[in-house]
C-alpha cells in the first residue's frame, strides 16, 4: 500500500487515523462464555472426567551445559547451570513422589515458599454428556489459574511458538492459561494434563506458596457464523461460480489495527502472521488464541520515526526452511529472521544505493526471492530526499546476488506467480495507471515480455492496485478500486467482491489451502474459495520457531 505522492500534510490525511483500541480477535468459536463447564476442583467435575488430581513438589537441580560459541551455537566451554526436575514423559515423572489431591482441595498450599515449584497432573477422559449437551463435536478448552505462574503440558508436549502470549506458556501473574484440547471432542478421548506451577515474581520471590485458584474444562458449541459479515458480489461472468461459491461467506476475525498488510500463513502452526506497518508491529493470529504480538519494532527504530507514516514491516514470506522473510519499510531492506533469533540482512542496497522501501515479496520454487521496491514507506514518498534510486524496481535475489528485473511501472506493489511459475504478476499502485502487469519468467529467472495483463484505470475510486494472489487454476485475486477483483487466467474480469473495508493484501491458508485471508485496513478477514492455492505457494511442513 502507498500514500499519494503529494505533500506531507495531505499524505497524512490520506491514511487511516490511528485507532485507540487495542487490536483484538473478534469473539471466536472457543472464546467467551462457554456452553458448559466442568469444574475440575469439584467432586462432580472429577467424576465426570474420571480424573484425580496429583501433585508433587519439584526444585531446580544442578546441571551442566555449554556456553554460547561465536556462531551462537551451544558448543562453548562447559558451564554450571540449573534444570527443572523430571518433566512429562520421563520415567521419573511417571513414577515418583505423587500425592493425591482431594476434590475441593486445589487451594492447598504446596512447596517451601519463596522460589517454589510444583507439578500438578490430571488424566481427563471426555464424557458422553455434560450440562445436558452431547460432548461429541464440542470444542474443549482447559483453563487453569495458578498462584502465581503456570505452564501447561498436554499429552507430554509443551507447545510454544515465537511471540506466543499465554496458552501453554505463562500468561501472566495469577492469569488464566487457556489451552485448546480439541475443536471436536469424542467421548472416551483421553488427555494427560500436567501443570508446572511456580511462585512469582521470579526476581522477587514472595512469602507465599504454590496453589491452584481454579481449573475447568470449558465446552463450546460451534458458532462460527457469529463472525460473518455482509458482502456484495458483482458477478460479471458465470465462471465465477467455480471460483467463489454462490453462498460465499466473509468472516471478520480481528479488529482494532491501524493498517493491516503483508499476511503469510504458517501451515504447521495453523497461524497467520501479518504486518501493521503504521504501528511498526507484526501480529500473529490463530483460530484458538486470536491475536497476539509476534514482533515489535518490525521495520524501524530510528529517532526520526515520527516522520514516517508506515515505518514498520510490510510483506512477509516463508522460505523453504520456514524462516520468516520481512520487507522492512523504515529500514529499507529485506531481512530474514533466523531460528536463533538473529536477523540476517538479505538485501538493502542495489549498486551501492539504498533501496526505497521494499513492499511485497514472493519465493519461487527454486528458492529465488522476488520483491517490489516502491518508495511508499518513505515519509515524502517519491519526493523524499532520502530516496537514492531514480526508479521503483522489481528485484530477484538468488544465491546472494541481487538483480534488477523490472522498472517499467512507477508503483510496483503486489507480486505473485502463476501456478506453473511461467509468469510473474505485479500490481501497480498508480492512480493514473491502475494495471496488473504480467511478465514471462525465463529459465534463468529474469523477466521478459512484460505487458499489461489487466487495466483498471477507468474503474471508479481513488484506490489503485495493492495485493495479488493466484489460485491453482490461475485466477487472480487483486485488491483494486472498490473491492477484491477476480480475474481469469485469460484476462477476463469474472467479478468484484465488495468488502466492508478495502483489502491491502492476501494470503492462502488453512489445512486445505482454500481460505483466503485478507488484511484490510483496521481488520482481518477470511474468505472461503472453491479452488484455493497453487502447490508452489504452500509450504506444508514449516514452523516459525526459535531454537530450543
Cell of 78: 562447559
Task: Give CA–CA dist 82/78, Å, rounded.
Answer: 13
Which residue matches cell numbers 483489502? 503
pLDDT at 268: 81
Backbone angles phi, psi at 239, to 5 degrees: -65, -15
As annotated, the residues of the chain forming the CATH 2.120.10.30 domain(s) are 8-26+225-537
HSE-CB at 296 with a 13 A cutoff on CA atoms is: 3
> Residue 536's pLDDT band (boundaries 50, 70, 90)?
low
Look up residue 227 and give its DSSP letter.
Answer: G
pLDDT band, residue 341 (cuts 50/70/90): confident
Q: For the ranges 6-10, 32-36, 440-444, which has the lowest average pLDDT?
A: 6-10
Q: Is the pLDDT of residue 387 over 70?
A: yes
Summary mean pLDDT of the chain: 91
d(CA 195, CA 177): 10
Q: Which residue has the higher pLDDT, 3 or 523?
A: 523
Q: Taking 50 as the threshold, does the pLDDT of residue 417 lie above it? A: yes
| Cβ-contact 319, 337 below 8 angstroms | no
Question: What whole-number distance in Å separates Cα of residue 544 and Cα of residue 445?
Answer: 27
The residues, any chain, with a CB within 8 Å of residue 378's CB and separated by 6 or more, are 308, 356, 357, 384, 386, 387
Per-residue confidence (pLDDT) for residue 6, from 0 to 100:
30
pLDDT digits (tens, 9 = 90+) for 218-230: 999 987 555 889 8
Cα–chain center distance at 132: 36
Q: Decide if 233 contacts 244 (C-beta within 8 A).
A: yes
Q: How far is CA 543 from CA 300, 403, 441, in A?
A: 25, 29, 29
Residue 539: predicted pLDDT? 54
Residues 6 and 192 sit within 8 Å (Cβ to Cβ)? no
User: Average pLDDT for residues 438-442, to the nearest whole number?
Assistant: 97
Q: Is the pLDDT of residue 362 over 70?
A: yes
CA dihedral 382, 384, 390, 395 (to 10 degrees): -80
Percent of the chain, pLDDT > 70?
Answer: 93
Q: Is the pLDDT of residue 104 over 70?
A: yes
Distance CA 108, CA 101 (A): 9
Cα–Cα dist 545/189, whole Å: 29
Q: Which strand (E) or helix (H) includes residue 8?
A: helix 8-13
- pLDDT of 95 reads 84
Mean pLDDT of 274-287: 95
Burial class (CB in 10 A: 0-12, 13-18, 19+), 297: middle
Question: Which CATH number fits the domain 8-26+225-537, given the four candidates 3.90.45.10, 2.30.110.10, 2.120.10.30, 3.30.1360.70?
Answer: 2.120.10.30
pLDDT of 293 > 50? The answer is yes
Q: How far apart are CA 39 and CA 122, in angstroms?
A: 13
Instruction: Enumerate the CATH 2.60.120 domain ranges in the chain, comma separated.
Output: 36-220
pLDDT band at 17 (very low <50, low <70, confident <90, very high): very low
Confidence (pTM): 0.88
Task: State which fold the 36-220 domain adopts.
Answer: Jelly Rolls (2.60.120)
The radius of gyration of the chain from alpha carbons, rounded to an integer in Å, stands at 26
Q: Give the three-class secondary structure for 75.
A: coil
pLDDT at 5: 35
Amino acid at each position: 500500500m502507498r500514500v499519494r505522492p503529494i505533500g506531507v500534510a495531505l499524505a497524512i490525511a490520506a491514511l487511516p487515523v490511528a485507532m485507540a483500541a487495542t487490536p483484538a480477535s473478534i469473539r471466536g468459536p472457543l472464546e467467551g462464555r462457554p456452553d458448559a463447564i466442568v469444574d475440575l476442583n469439584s467432586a462432580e467435575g472429577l467424576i465426570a472426567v474420571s480424573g484425580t488430581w496429583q501433585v508433587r513438589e519439584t526444585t531446580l537441580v544442578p546441571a551442566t551445559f555449554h556456553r554460547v560459541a561465536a556462531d551462537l551455537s551451544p558448543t562453548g566451554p562447559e558451564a554450571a547451570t540449573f534444570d527443572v526436575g523430571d518433566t512429562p514423559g520421563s520415567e521419573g515423572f511417571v513414577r515418583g513422589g505423587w500425592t493425591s489431591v482431594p476434590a475441593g482441595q486445589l487451594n492447598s498450599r504446596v512447596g517451601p515458599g519463596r522460589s517454589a515449584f510444583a507439578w500438578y497432573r490430571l488424566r481427563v477422559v471426555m464424557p458422553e454428556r455434560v450440562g445436558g449437551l452431547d460432548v461429541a463435536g464440542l470444542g474443549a478448552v482447559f483453563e487453569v489459574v495458578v498462584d502465581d505462574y503456570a505452564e501447561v503440558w498436554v499429552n507430554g508436549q509443551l507447545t510454544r511458538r515465537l511471540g506466543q502470549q499465554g496458552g501453554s506458556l505463562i500468561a501472566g501473574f495469577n492469569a488464566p492459561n487457556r489451552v485448546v484440547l480439541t475443536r471436536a471432542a469424542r467421548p472416551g478421548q483421553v488427555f494427560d494434563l500436567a501443570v508446572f506451577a511456580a511462585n512469582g515474581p521470579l526476581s522477587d520471590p514472595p512469602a507465599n506458596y504454590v496453589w491452584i485458584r481454579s481449573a475447568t474444562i470449558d465446552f463450546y458449541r460451534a458458532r462460527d457464523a457469529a463472525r460473518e459479515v455482509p458482502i456484495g458480489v458483482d458477478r460479471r461472468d458465470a465462471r465465477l461460480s467455480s471460483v467463489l461459491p454462490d453462498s460465499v461467506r466473509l468472516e471478520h476475525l480481528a479488529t482494532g489495527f491501524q493498517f493491516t498488510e503483508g499476511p503469510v500463513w504458517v501451515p504447521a502452526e495453523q497461524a497467520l502472521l501479518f504486518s501493521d506497518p503504521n504501528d511498526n508491529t507484526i501480529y500473529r493470529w490463530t483460530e484458538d488464541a486470536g491475536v497476539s504480538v509476534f514482533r515489535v519494532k518490525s521495520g524501524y527504530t530510528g529517532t526520526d520515526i515520527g516522520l514516517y507514516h508506515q515505518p514498520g514491516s510490510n510483506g512477509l514470506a516463508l522460505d523453504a526452511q520456514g524462516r520468516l522473510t520481512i520487507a522492512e519499510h523504515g529500514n529499507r531492506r529485506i531481512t530474514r529472521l533466523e531460528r536463533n533469533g538473529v536477523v540476517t540482512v538479505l538485501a538493502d542496497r542495489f549498486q551501492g544505493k539504498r533501496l526505497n522501501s521494499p513492499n511485497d515479496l514472493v519465493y519461487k520454487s527454486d528458492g529465488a526471492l522476488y520483491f517490489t521496491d516502491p518508495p511508499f514507506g518513505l515519509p515524502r514518498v517519491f519526493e523524499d530526499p532520502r530516496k537514492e534510486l531514480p526508479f521503483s524496481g522489481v528485484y530477484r535475489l538468488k544465491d546472494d546476488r541481487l538483480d534488477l528485473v523490472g522498472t517499467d511501472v512507477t508503483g510496483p506493489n503486489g507480486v505473485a506467480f502463476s501456478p506453473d511459475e511461467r509468469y510473474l504478476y505485479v500490481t501497480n499502485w498508480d492512480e493514473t495507471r491502475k494495471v496488473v502487469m504480467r511478465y514471462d519468467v525465463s529459465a534463468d529467472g529474469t523477466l521478459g515480455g512484460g505487458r499489461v495483463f489487466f487495466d483498471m484505470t477507468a474503474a471508479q475510486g481513488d484506490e489503485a492496485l495493492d495485493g495479488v494472489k493466484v489460485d491453482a487454476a490461475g485466477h487472480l485475486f487483486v485488491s483494486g478500486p472498490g473491492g477484491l477483483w477476480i480475474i481469469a487466467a485469460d484476462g477476463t474480469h469474472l467479478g468484484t467482491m465488495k468488502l466492508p473495508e478495502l483489502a491491502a493484501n492476501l494470503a492462502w491458508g488453512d489445512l486445505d489451502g482454500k481460505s483466503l485471508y485478507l488484511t484490510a485496513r483496521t481488520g482481518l478477514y477470511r474468505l472461503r474459495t472453491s479452488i484455493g492455492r497453487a502447490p508452489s505457494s504452500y509450504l506444508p511442513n514449516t514452523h516459525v520457531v526459535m531454537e530450543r
